Structure 1
């Protein structure tokens, strides 16, 4: 069954690969980017099923206009993909409000506003899907990724609550948590804290080294990742959480094992916190 998609952040990375894969299989796509001039080849290659428009998720009114366009062009909306976003590296002490507030505006508030704009259309479609592009950084915190971790942890919590709210309408939510994939994420999509303090060289500073050494060398194949995402979207019972790649699974299993170990160690004391019975 053909679906009608709205995908944010299609100028590159997983968003671009997803848009192409969806169009290749015959679905209809409203591909968006802050600058739609990066997308004309999609319309040329798929003139019947692709439309493009500007969508800056931080700009008031852009998301609502994009949803209205999707409904006008395709007659409705079945799948929303919140993919637009970028990263930031630096220790918490190194970051400044001018650097980290725009990160939250895009990665968190932009996701919220785009989702709110799309929900009325998704409710009407019945059996819709909301795909939240989170990250392995939404599973576990890593020194040097603190601000990016915070935005993706926010997306995870929002999405888990949203999934419960929209399930009665037949809408499924999928939180995609990729590990390293060979996209532009470590390149043009990554911001760096301008301050670089020697005190954090052995902790947060290692993430700066990682970026320099791994940009364009990530082991993950974006097309294989998108194949898994499409299978999840098409599934009758999509997963709420969808880690992608070995790194994401290692992060999750390591965190959960440490979490459970700590719980077990402290449970006898931590449960003795209720008022004593009279």
Structure 2
């Protein structure tokens, strides 16, 4: 039996995961900005579920959630950083007041929640940190630049964290879902308040996608959650976990394009070291080759 702390449990994959965790008998601290959305979950599982208001941008909230896991259930095994939202708009279109909150929630909120949970997670062997990224964290696309930026940051942070925690027996899983039938394109998506005609050809398609696909996404959230649970339970979980055919297609296109660029420019771009005699002279003088 594991003890979980999940952020953003009011709707979407966070809610689906919370339901699945509780249903299988694990212990859970379910959090959302308002506990009203979590009341029914706590009523159905009074012995194993605790609900708490948590705004990842509010100092102290994450620490209180971790403390609740420790006092109510004796510790913490799994942290799921799920809280977040999306944003549509060209880089030039968006104003700071529109895109900075995206970073506060999707990136800095994740960082602070992780930092608050790590002391508790380090007390137990086999802990897991699950960070919700996205197919948008694998490859950038016009109109999603700011959202891409937050998720790319989550990817890099998670990769570094995985290396830091590897000797401690803790694993990091970066979940990279494609489109699933949740409220993401609705209440969990905001957009730039102005539209610049110059970007109509690229960004307008993203706005149209949101309007026409909300509630019609092909992905089944229950199936995505089943994959996440299997990864958390695995002895050797993946660091990167794209979920859904769209996410896998994005990853494969990105890898193909990356390899093509590397191959095309390899001979020119690797010939950038000092000439051998200069490098040897530097080493003879006691240089270690590091800046």
Superposed pair shares fold, TM > 0.5: yes
Deviation of 1:127 (Å)? 0.7
Q: Which residue of 2 aligns with 1:99?
A: 98
Q: Which residue of 1 aligns with 2:275?
A: 276
Q: Distance in 2 between matches of 1:49 and 1:201?
A: 50
Aligned residues between the structures:
277
DSSP-derived class of the 1:242 partner: strand
User: Aligned Cα RMSD in Å?
Assistant: 0.6
Q: Which residue of 2 aligns with 1:119?
A: 118
Deviation of 1:204 (Å)? 1.5
Q: Distance in 1 between matches of 2:124 and 2:78?
A: 9
Q: Which residue of 1 aligns with 2:142?
A: 143
Q: Which residue of 2 aligns with 1:246?
A: 245
Deviation of 1:177 (Å)? 0.1
Measured against aligned partners, the alpha-carbon deviations of 1:91-123 in whole angstroms (never above 9, x if no partner) come to 000011000000000000000000000000000
Q: Quick check: 1:212 aligned with 2:211?
A: yes
Matches within 5 A, 1:128-207: 128-207=127-206
Q: Distance in 1 between matches of 2:276 and 2:117?
A: 50
Deviation of 1:259 (Å)? 0.6
Deviation of 1:222 (Å)? 0.1
Deviation of 1:276 (Å)? 2.2
Q: Which residue of 1 aligns with 2:55?
A: 56
Q: Distance in 2 between matches of 1:232 and 1:194?
A: 39
Q: Quick check: 1:230 aligned with 2:229?
A: yes
Q: Distance in 2 between matches of 1:171 and 1:272?
A: 39
Q: Which residue of 2 aligns with 1:8?
A: 7
Measured against aligned partners, the alpha-carbon deviations of 1:48-107 in whole angstroms (never above 9, x if no partner) come to 100000100000010011101110000000000000000000000001100000000000
Q: Quick check: 1:86 aligned with 2:78?
A: no
Measured against aligned partners, the alpha-carbon deviations of 1:150-169 in whole angstroms (never above 9, x if no partner) come to 00000000000000111111
Q: Distance in 2 between matches of 1:277 and 1:30?
A: 59
Measured against aligned partners, the alpha-carbon deviations of 1:203-249 in whole angstroms (never above 9, x if no partner) come to 11210010001000000000000000000000000000000001000
Q: Distance in 2 between matches of 1:39 and 1:190?
A: 21
Q: Distance in 2 between matches of 1:115 and 1:126?
A: 17
Q: Distance in 2 between matches of 1:63 and 1:269?
A: 48
DSSP-derived class of the 2:276 partner: coil
Q: Distance in 2 between matches of 1:188 and 1:234?
A: 31
Deviation of 1:277 (Å)? 3.2
Q: Which residue of 2 aligns with 1:27?
A: 26
Q: Distance in 1 between matches of 2:270 and 2:168?
A: 37
DSSP-derived class of the 1:253 partner: helix
Matches within 5 A, 1:64-75: 64-75=63-74
DSSP-derived class of the 1:131 partner: strand
Deviation of 1:126 (Å)? 1.2
Q: Distance in 2 between matches of 1:44 and 1:36?
A: 12
Measured against aligned partners, the alpha-carbon deviations of 1:11-42 in whole angstroms (never above 9, x if no partner) come to 00000000000110000000000111111000
Please, which runs of 5 or more residues in structure 1 have no aligned partner? none
Q: Distance in 2 between matches of 1:172 and 1:235?
A: 10
